[in-house]
Amino acid sequence: MKTAIRLFILCILFASGFAHASFITTGTLYQTAAGTTIDYWYFYLDSDETITINLLTYSNTPTGDHNNYSSSTGLDTVISLYSNDGSLDLSDYIAYNDDSGSDAASSDGSTTDLDSYLTITLSAGEYVLLVSDYDYNGDGYSLDAYDIASSINFGDQLETNEGYASYQITWSDNVYLETQSDDDTDVPEPPALSIFLVALLGVYKFRNKVIPRN
């Protein structure tokens, strides 16, 4: 009986390491005649939380040159955070980040501080994260009301020839996306936990079978 209790406690402690895992989503921005597209990521928090959003950009071109800043990507992301009250406008604005400026941002493999990174404490509620390209031809990191309403960063041009550039977002575990796609990836993967629990159960059954009780 004592062995079973010890194994049960061990399972709980091990599982706690998997219960709170960050996860990854991916997206792509596209070039249009009017400008570049803006992606909208809707999420909510069950309670007051400090969340982390970490961008990693990767491109369909080998290198990108952002006004003489050397980069391994053709996309210079900007993330803008808004509250989601059902009618998105500039009054819902909370925070933004253009360049990470943080060593923590490299945890996802980023090799340039042009990748965006945001850590912020928020109240329970609904939010939306906008991912856009830095507009070197116009407003820089700023999005105006027309951009937000139309999902187009007017006047912006991607520094890639193919007309698109991709990125990934690593979200902290306390963020719940409104929609979950097939491209979402948990970190670490849950199957390892199942394998571990099955192995523990096998050890316990084997012990009861081969070791006589006193």
pLDDT band at 206 (very low <50, low <70, confident <90, very high): very low
**Do 2 and 68 share a domain, yes or no?**
no
**Do 10 and 27 share a domain, yes or no?**
no
What is the C-alpha separation between 10 and 199, in angstroms, rounded? Answer: 12
What domain range is 85 assigned to? 22-187
**Do 143 and 204 share a domain, yes or no?**
no
User: Where does the chain have alpha helices with state H?
Assistant: 2-19, 145-150, 191-210
More confident residue, 204 or 146: 146
Report whether 107 contacts 54 (CB < 8 A). Answer: yes
**Do 77 and 145 share a domain, yes or no?**
yes
State residue 122's pLDDT score. 98
pLDDT tens, residue by residue, 119-135: 999 999 999 999 999 88
pLDDT tens, residue by residue, 69-100: 434 456 888 999 999 999 999 999 999 998 77
Asked if the model's pLDDT at residue 150 lies above 80, the reply is yes
**Do 35 and 113 share a domain, yes or no?**
yes
**Rounded mean pLDDT of 105-117?**
78
**CATH at 67:** 2.60.120.380
**Do 90 and 107 share a domain, yes or no?**
yes
**Do 178 and 209 share a domain, yes or no?**
no
Asked if the model's pLDDT at residue 20 lies above 90, the reply is no
Rounded to 5 degrees, what are φ and ψ at 196?
A: -65, -45
**Do 163 and 206 share a domain, yes or no?**
no
- Give the highest mean pLDDT range of 6-10, 63-67, 130-134: 130-134
Long-range contacts of 182-190 (CB under 8 A, 24+ apart): 183/25, 183/26, 184/23, 184/24, 184/25, 185/23, 185/24, 185/25, 186/21, 186/23, 187/21, 187/22, 187/23, 187/24, 188/18, 188/21, 190/18, 190/21
**Do 98 and 200 share a domain, yes or no?**
no
**Do 129 and 197 share a domain, yes or no?**
no
- This prediction has a pTM of 0.71
Tally the domains of the chain: 2
